[in-house]
Structure 1
Amino acid sequence: MRVLDGRDEKNLHFKWSPEVKSVIRIEPGEILEVLVPDSSTMQIKKESKLADLGRIDNSKFDAAVGAIEILGAKKGDTLEVTIVDIIPDAWGWTAIMKDFGLLKNRFQESLVIWNISGSIASSSSDFLKGVRIPVRPFLGVIGTAPEKGTYGMIPPQRFGGNMDNKMNGVGSRIMLPVNIDGGMLSISDPHASQGDGEICGTAIETSARVRLMVKIIRKKHELDPIVYSKSGESESMMCAMGIDSDLHSAAVKAAENMIHHLSLAGYKPEEAYILCSVAGDLRISEIVDEPNFVVSMCLPTIFLRQNLH
């Protein structure tokens, strides 16, 4: 198995752009191991203190490992990215930062360092002492190159990016558009755990060893990203995402995305609309990565009448 080391800055990029060059080429079906730094790009250390937050270079947040070129992927295809495994580091961090988060600037800046052991994360200090958080690792950032233009790393986009969707965990399959030949996949921002919305702006941020596999689907992905996942759920789910700068518009896009894919599975549009209402869950997956937000329409995959692909 080949390894891509994201701790080496030559394997990182700090903008989404079709100009980002590949740092590795992989065959469809090949399993690649990626060493992914935390969202601060190794600026926050296990021994960091609150005062260190003021010395962080914000331009380095969410630097992505890549681009990973998928041999044979052509513009108009779809990538199916399977997260084979995520092994988080033995520690992580969460912070309240200035000018960031749903309730920005209402609370004092804070930093908690977590010890991660097996399936539990616990605070290493008196801050949240005694609280035990179940470890459910996932990738906050996963995306492909845009067709044109240059985008920052923080806001999510239709090509993916910083979606901060906790469904993107081990075993999940994420559908992303191929906007340029090769797809140019990139990943970053591993989380040991996070709630829907990530309201303070950070999750349990950690570095991780990630294994992934990519397939090429010879069909255009028309709408926003889709994920098939059982991450933290009792049953397998399909979550159709909607990404927009307006939360209501993001919800509309998520619902339209799900109805579109249910229609491909054999449902009439009206059937799909009602099914989403009686059996689906509309979730705010991410509400802090301004100016864009992520809403997910999630439905148990048991309702799919046929394989969508």
Structure 2
Amino acid sequence: MIRRQGPSPLYYEASPGNRPTLWVEPGEVFEVVTQMNRGPDISVVPYHLLEDWSEYHSYQVERANPSSGAIWVHGAEPGMVIEVVIENMELAPVGYVAFSGNNTMFPSAPLTDEKLGAARVVRIHDNQVIWDAGLTIPARPMIGMMAVAPTHEAQSTVRVGHWGGNMDVQEVGPGARVRLVVNVPGALLHIGDVHALQGDGEISGTGIETSALVRLRVELMPRPAEMIWPRIVTPDYIFTVGADRPAESAFRVAVSELIRWLHADYGLEPREAVLLLSQVLEARATQVVNPTITYVAGVRQEILRGLV
């Protein structure tokens, strides 16, 4: 029988002080039920979505990006890396997108007044987001917040750092492997903030916020000496994650991490890695609305297979 972490208790910080709520073995398949972020007033919800909204959404959510418990991984110790393998995600049938109206990203546009805020509640069906009667968009399920506990401090699940956190990277979905450096015994894995879809930048402040049943397993590996920030491996790419402000600082972190990875695992001298990345690097800001901006830097696997 597959063990499951329910949507409670909710943690709003990734913290070494959080009580573990599920204990798993390396390689064991388990499930996490995530909680949707607190959404717009019920007056915004279309009548035909009210029943699903009442089932999958809760106005009791206190803050953004709650984690469904904290998962203890047996055998995980500082000096190791956990690799979180996302096997499957079953989305709830309803979600929402919201914009507060006071977004300082656009000071020259008329979008800095709370009275101009907007929200939309949408149906999610057959891996499609039903935007309205005329527009259906393919869903791309992702886990926005994935973190381990930092060594000493508690970090808000809104923040991003070397522990992971609210990275909001679209590639963190089914088929991806997310690698995080272990800071405390058991790692204390935190999962939350599922999106059915999200554009680069997440410029309204949300993706299609929803909940999901997520099937995962965790593997253990030694920590590479050069690894500090999260890494993501997909069938088509490898990515490094960096976060900072301004955006160019986040970009610098992500690319520096990628150069070190290419040197350690693929034998490229750093100067040769720079020459290659100048031609084939793929990088972007996946969100610009959190306290720090998330950048990913990646290379296609087909390029890496050609390295001798």
* Range class of TM-score, shorter chain: 0.7 to 0.9
The answer as to whether partners of 1:66 and 1:184 remain within 8 angstroms in 2 is no
Counterpart among 130, 143, 160 of residue 156 in structure 1: 160
Partner Cα distance (2:152, 2:197) in 1: 33
- Per the alignment, residue 259 of structure 2 pairs with 259
The answer as to whether partners of 2:161 and 2:242 remain within 8 angstroms in 1 is no
The answer as to whether partners of 2:75 and 2:186 remain within 8 angstroms in 1 is yes
The answer as to whether partners of 2:14 and 2:150 remain within 8 angstroms in 1 is yes
Q: Secondary structure at the match of 1:60?
A: coil
The answer as to whether partners of 2:157 and 2:166 remain within 8 angstroms in 1 is yes
Matches within 5 A, 1:91-110: 91-100=94-103, 102-103=105-106, 105=112, 108-110=116-118
Q: Give CA deviations for 1:30-64 in whole Å, capped at 9, x if unaligned.
A: 01111111122xx558x5528xxxxx788421111
Partner Cα distance (1:220, 1:101) in 2: 39
The answer as to whether partners of 1:101 and 1:200 remain within 8 angstroms in 2 is no
- Per the alignment, residue 26 of structure 2 pairs with 28
Partner Cα distance (1:220, 1:180) in 2: 17
Q: Secondary structure at the match of 1:260?
A: helix
- Per the alignment, residue 284 of structure 1 pairs with 285
Say whether 1:247 aligns with 2:232. Answer: no
- Per the alignment, residue 233 of structure 1 pairs with none
The answer as to whether partners of 1:224 and 1:243 remain within 8 angstroms in 2 is no
How far 1:245 sits from its partner (Å)?
2.6
- Per the alignment, residue 73 of structure 2 pairs with 70
Q: TM-score, normalised by structure 1?
A: 0.87
Residues 48, 275 of structure 1: alpha-carbon distance in 2 compared, 3 angstrom cutoff: farther
Residues 266, 286 of structure 1: alpha-carbon distance in 2 compared, 3 angstrom cutoff: same
The answer as to whether partners of 2:160 and 2:294 remain within 8 angstroms in 1 is yes
Q: Secondary structure at the match of 1:215?
A: strand
Letter in 1 for 2:112: N
- Per the alignment, residue 135 of structure 2 pairs with 131
- Per the alignment, residue 233 of structure 2 pairs with 228
Residues 25, 218 of structure 1: alpha-carbon distance in 2 compared, 3 angstrom cutoff: same
How far 1:145 sits from its partner (Å)?
0.1
Partner Cα distance (1:179, 1:151) in 2: 13
Aligned length: 287
- Per the alignment, residue 302 of structure 1 pairs with 302
State, as a whole percentage, how many aligned pairs show the same letter.
29
Letter in 1 for 2:170: K
The answer as to whether partners of 2:102 and 2:117 remain within 8 angstroms in 1 is no
Q: Secondary structure at the match of 1:304?
A: helix
Matches within 5 A, 1:139-178: 139-178=143-182
The answer as to whether partners of 1:2 and 1:32 remain within 8 angstroms in 2 is yes
Residues 302, 48 of structure 1: alpha-carbon distance in 2 compared, 3 angstrom cutoff: farther
Q: Hey, which bits of structure 1, 4+ residues long, moved more than 6 A? A: none
Q: Give CA deviations for 1:225-252 in whole Å, capped at 9, x if unaligned.
A: 111125xxxxx01111111132111111
Say whether 1:114 aligns with 2:112. Answer: no
The answer as to whether partners of 1:237 and 1:298 remain within 8 angstroms in 2 is yes
The answer as to whether partners of 2:259 and 2:273 remain within 8 angstroms in 1 is yes
Partner Cα distance (2:79, 2:22) in 1: 21
Q: Give CA deviations for 1:223-278 in whole Å, capped at 9, x if unaligned.
A: 21111125xxxxx0111111113211111111101101010121111121122111
How far 1:68 sits from its partner (Å)?
0.2
**Unaligned 5+ runs, structure 2:** 46-58
Partner Cα distance (2:306, 2:222) in 1: 18
Partner Cα distance (1:134, 1:306) in 2: 32
**Unaligned 5+ runs, structure 1:** 51-55, 231-235
Letter in 2 for 1:38: M
Letter in 1 for 2:260: H
